[in-house]
């Protein structure tokens, strides 16, 4: 007698996902080695589907990406390209956890981007 009952895609003994039936007359659970007769799988239909994202991106997604570059705290830092004051920054952990963060700066006037490793 088994502990679990329900979906036949799962082992009734331990609840692990069962492999697809093969040429053998039993299906064996890879976790607990419980055997199920192949006749219990007769009549089951296995289906799958793949959903792809649309190829064209909406203009609002592109606008949101551009606007997100200019969100954040503005600091008094001079842009090396346009030489104006005012840059937005954000930080990311680009290397291992025991090393400093990388700071990304974006000019609010010309959108030039710089990075600085800490």
Binding residues for Zn(2+): 11, 14, 29, 32, 79, 82, 107, 110
- Let me know the angle formed at the C-alpha of 109 by 107 and 113, rounded to the nearest 5 degrees: 25
**51 with 33: CB under 8 angstroms?**
no
Burial category of 85 from C-beta neighbours within 10 Å (exposed 0-12, middle 13-18, buried 19 and up): middle
Per the annotation, binding residues are 11, 14, 29, 32, 79, 82, 107, 110
**Separation of alpha carbons 95 and 102, rounded Å:** 8
């Amino acid at each position: 007698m088994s502990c679990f009952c329900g979906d036949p895609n799962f082992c009734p003994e331990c609840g692990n996902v069962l492999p697809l039936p093969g040429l053998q007359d039993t299906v064996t659970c890879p976790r607990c080695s419980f055997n199920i007769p192949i006749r219990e799988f007769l009549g089951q239909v296995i289906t799958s589907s793949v959903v792809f994202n649309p190829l064209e991106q909406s203009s609002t997604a592109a606008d949101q990406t551009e606007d997100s570059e200019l969100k954040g705290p503005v600091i008094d830092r001079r842009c090396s390209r346009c030489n104006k004051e005012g840059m937005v920054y954000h930080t990311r952990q680009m290397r291992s956890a025991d090393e400093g963060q990388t700071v990304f700066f974006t000019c609010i006037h010309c959108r030039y981007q710089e990075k600085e490793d800490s």
